[in-house]
Amino acid sequence: MAEVEVIRLAKSFGTHDIIRDLDLKIEDGEFVVLVGPSGCGKTTLLRMIAGLEPTTAGEIHIGARDVTHLSPKNRDIAMVFQSYALYPHMTAAENMGFSLKLAKIPAAKIADQVARAAKLLHIDHLLSRKPRELSGGQRQRVAMGRAMVREPAVYLFDEPLSNLDAQLRTSMRAEIKRMHLEEKQTVIYVTHDQIEAMTLADRIVAMRAGKIEQIGSPDDLYNRPASTFVAKFIGSPAMNLLPAELAGGEIRVTDGPVFALPPAFAHLRAETGRKVLLGIRPEAFHLSPAQAGWPAFEVTASLIEPCGAEVYVIGDLAGQEVTLRLAPGTAPARGESRSFFADTAALHLFDAVTERSLRDDDDNQGQKP
Ligand SMILES: Nc1ncnc2c1ncn2[C@@H]1O[C@H](COP(=O)(O)OP(=O)(O)OP(=O)(O)O)[C@@H](O)[C@H]1O
Ligand SMILES: [Mg+2]
C-alpha cells in the first residue's frame, strides 16, 4: 500500500491540453473516486499514473518514489481498464494468475489467490472457461480478479462495473466496499455512476476539462458544491438552478417569490443587485414547511415520472423547468399547480457570473480556474 501524489501534472496530445497543471494527493489506504463529463481526462490521468501514457510535464510519486519515468511494471500498480483485454487463449484462472506466474510465485499460492479473488467476484464456477465463452460482465470480473490477485500498492479502476447488469453492479459495489474496508488498499476509481461515487469514495474528485473543480467527501460535494458545475454534476436528478437577485437581505427569484437569506448566506445581507443562481435539490421540496420561514414555490406539473419508491415531477417554477422528488401518492396531477416549501438549510446560492458558491463556510474550492 502507498500514497499517490501528482504534482503539476500536464498532458497534451498535439495542441490539445488534456490535463492541465493538476495537483492531487491521495493518502495511503484512501479510496478516491474521479468523476467528470466524458472527455474531461479521467482515463488519461489514470493511464499516466499507471505509466501507460508519458507525461507532458509534472511528477508522479507512489509511496516514497518518484515514478514519473518508471515503466508500468516497476510502479507496483494494477489497472482495470474501461475496455479490458484478456488473453484469449488462456482460461479465466490462467488470465487471473498470469502476472503471479511471471513473478515466479509457486503454483499452489497462485491457485489460492485466484480462488479467493474468484469467490469475491462470484466467478469461481467460470475459472476453466476461455474469454470467448464468457459474457461481457463476466470478462470484466475476470479482469478485476487479475488486478486483485497481485495485491499491488495501488489499484486504478476505470469504470470497472460499467458492463454489469444493475443487480450484479449493486452486489459488486458492496463487495468492493467490503474489500476496501477490510484490506484498506489505495484505490483510484473512475465512474459515471453517482451511487458508486457516493458510496465508495472517501473523497470524490470532480474533474472539468483536465482540471480539478472540487475535491471533498461525498457529503461536501453533495451538500456544499463549490460551483454550479459540481452542483449539476453530483446528484440525480440534478440540482435545480433558478435565476435570482440579492436585495437587502432578501433573495428575489426572477418572476418568483421573495424571501429572507438563509443563515449560511447571511454574510451577503448588505448586497443589493447581485445576480445569483438559487440552487434547490429535487428532494428539498416539501408539501408543508417543517419550520417557520421556509419559502414557498408554486410549481405547475408538466410530467410525472413514477420510479417505484419515489416520483419525479417535472414542472414549471416561475418560468423555469424544475424537477421535484416526491413520495409516491403525494405528487400533483399533470397540469395541476401546487405550493411546495423548500428546506432553507438545503438552499444553495451561486454567483451568476462566476458560477462559484457564495456559501460562507466554503473552504474547499478545488483548483481555481
Ligand atoms: N491518444 C490520444 N490522442 C489524442 N487525443 C486523445 C488520446 N487519448 C485521449 N485523447 C483525448 O483526450 C481527452 C480526454 O480523454 P479521456 O479518455 O481521458 O476522457 P475520459 O474523461 O476518460 O472520458 P470518458 O468518461 O468518456 O471515458 C478526450 O478529448 C480525448 O479525445
Ligand atoms: Mg475514460
DSSP for 309-347 reads S-EEEEEEETTEEEEEEE-TT-PPPTT-EEEEEE-GGGE
The pLDDT confidence band at residue 80, using thresholds 50, 70 and 90, is confident
- Least confident range from 33-42, 259-268, 318-327: namely 259-268
Of 66, 71, 60, which Cα lies nearest the Cα of 23?
A: 60
Note whether 195 and 287 are same-domain residues. Answer: no
3-state secondary structure of 241: strand
Which ligand minimizes its atom distance to the CA of 42? 1
Is residue 362 situated within a structural domain? no
Cα 172 to ligand 1 centroid, rounded to whole Å: 26
Instruction: Please list the alpha-helical segments (H only) found in 121-236.
Output: 136-148, 166-183, 194-200, 218-223, 228-233
Q: Which three cell numbers stand for residue 13?
A: 496530445
Residue predicted with more confidence, 51 or 136: 51
Q: Which three cell numbers stand for residue 78?
A: 494494477
Q: Nearest 5 degrees, angle CA 274-CA 36-CA 277? A: 15
Q: Ligand 1 atom 30: the closest Cα is on which residue?
A: 39
Note whether 138 and 269 are same-domain residues. Answer: no
The pLDDT confidence band at residue 366, using thresholds 50, 70 and 90, is very low
Cα 82 to ligand 2 centroid, rounded to whole Å: 7
pLDDT at 142: 93
The pLDDT confidence band at residue 1, using thresholds 50, 70 and 90, is low
Element (H, E) at 96: helix 92-102
Note whether 271 and 189 are same-domain residues. Answer: no
- Asked whether 323 and 314 are in contact (CB, 8 A), the reply is yes
Average pLDDT value over all residues in the chain: 92
The pLDDT confidence band at residue 46, using thresholds 50, 70 and 90, is very high
Pocket around ligand 1: residues whose beta carbon is below 6 Å from it?
13, 18, 36, 38-44, 82
Note whether 214 and 277 are same-domain residues. Answer: no
Q: Ligand 1 atom 24: the closest Cα is on which residue?
A: 38
Helices and strands (DSSP H and E) totals, the chain: 8, 20
Is residue 357 situated within a structural domain? no
Q: How many domains does the chain have?
A: 2
Q: Residue type for 311, please?
A: V
pLDDT at 336: 96
Q: Mean of the pLDDT values across residues 299-325?
A: 96
Note whether 150 and 57 are same-domain residues. Answer: yes
CA 93 from centre of chain:
32
Cβ neighbour number for residue 188 with a 10 Å cutoff: 26
Note whether 10 and 146 are same-domain residues. Answer: yes
Note whether 341 and 204 are same-domain residues. Answer: no
Tens digits of per-residue pLDDT, 140-184? 889 989 988 988 889 999 998 887 888 888 888 988 898 899 889
**Strands 186-190 and 320-326, bridge-based pairing:** unpaired
CATH code where residue 324 lies: 2.40.50.140
Note whether 23 and 127 are same-domain residues. Answer: yes
CATH code where residue 89 lies: 3.40.50.300
Residue predicted with more confidence, 95 or 168: 95
Q: Mean of the pLDDT values across residues 67-94?
A: 90
Instruction: Please list the alpha-helical segments (H only) found in the chain.
Output: 42-50, 92-102, 107-120, 136-148, 166-183, 194-200, 218-223, 228-233
Note whether 213 and 111 are same-domain residues. Answer: yes
Q: Is the predicted pLDDT of residue 123 greater than 50, yes or no?
A: yes
Q: Ligand 1 atom 2: the closest Cα is on which residue?
A: 13
Note whether 196 and 246 are same-domain residues. Answer: no
Note whether 254 and 294 are same-domain residues. Answer: yes
Phi, psi of 352 (to 5 degrees): -70, -25
The pLDDT confidence band at residue 367, using thresholds 50, 70 and 90, is very low
pLDDT at 364: 41
Determine the structural domain holding residue 320 and report its residue range.
238-351
Instruction: Determine the Cα–Cα distance for residues 42 and 178; give it in Å rounded to an integer.
Output: 25
